[in-house]
Amino acid sequence: KAGVTQTPRYLIKTRGQQVTLSCSPISGHRSVSWYQQTPGQGLQFLFEYFSETQRNKGNFPGRFSGRQFSNSRSEMNVSTLELGDSALYLCASSLGDWGLTFTDTQYFGPGTRLTVL
Amino acid sequence: GNSVTQMEGPVTLSEEAFLTINCTYTATGYPSLFWYVQYPGEGLQLLLKATKADDKGSNKGFEATYRKETTSFHLEKGSVQVSDSAVYFCALEPNAGGTSYGKLTFGQGTILTVHP
């Protein structure tokens, strides 16, 4: 089974621009979560989508947004880029349906390295 | 709120040495616990997990036991290899639904370097 894929792998943008990152989950997974990884702040949760609906959101400004399509693929968008947005952006997919077990396991993609100049 | 604390790194070992990376957590209820590993230039790979107290997760010679009484999930390996050099992250998932959906809380990561 193919893993989580993210495109592009690397991006260089300038301040004020906007960027869109894409994530394709493992086949059959309906939940996609996004994380930002930086040396200073570590791994921080951005948001989670399940069946095209955002179910959870982290503490990031409104410049960070996302969406999910009917095939479970997800995109995240960052508008008006700032230098501090330079980071590795990771997406993770999971079944997302906790059912009676109330547990789920996330599988991560390779990430998109965003550099803002 | 939920939090995960890992031992300070970096950790430097010789090949075949014993490895322990400490992880303690704060959470309400009964979270699931995970160890992920990140190799240079890559994303996170799931190493092992445990979903309830006293469960032991294991994979590739690594083990960790979910200890609710000490709120710990320490990672151990009996004999490390050079190829184990990476960053290791301990994480928890609250298992409470609602605002917990899809949200892993991570420790700060521990850099492991193994020398031949």
Question: What mean pLDDT is predicted for residues A64-68?
Answer: 97
Q: What is residue A99's predicted lDDT score, i.e. its pLDDT?
A: 61
Contact B42 A92 (CB under 8 A): no
Mean predicted lDDT score pLDDT of chain A: 93
CB contact under 8 A, A33 and B49: no
Band of residue A60 on the pLDDT scale cut at 50, 70, 90: very high
The whole-angstrom distance between A28's CA and the closest CA on chain B is 16
For residue B78, the tally of other CB atoms under 10 A from its CB is 11
Across residues A89-100, what is the average pLDDT? 83
Can you tell me whether residue B38 is helix, strand or coil?
Answer: strand
CB contact under 8 A, A101 and B51: yes
Low-confidence ranges of chain B (pLDDT < 70): 96-99
Instruction: Give the start-end residues of each E strand in B17-97.
Output: 19-21, 23-26, 32-38, 44-50, 56-59, 62-65, 75-77, 86-93
What is the percentage of chain A residues whose pLDDT exceeds 70? 94
Cα separation, A73 vs A88, in Å, equals 19
Residues of chain A neighbouring B36 (CB-CB closer than 8 A): 108
Residue A80 is predicted with a pLDDT of: 96
Q: Which of these, B10, B26, B40, B9, lies nearest to B72 by C-alpha position?
A: B26
pLDDT band at A98 (very low <50, low <70, confident <90, very high): low
pLDDT (tens digit per residue) in B35-65: 999 998 889 999 999 988 999 999 999 999 9
Residue B103: its pLDDT value, please?
86
Q: Residue B28: its pLDDT value, please? A: 81
- Collect all residues from A whose CB is shorter than 8 A from any CB in B: 4, 6, 31-33, 35, 42-43, 45, 47-50, 55-56, 58, 90, 92, 94, 96, 98, 101-111
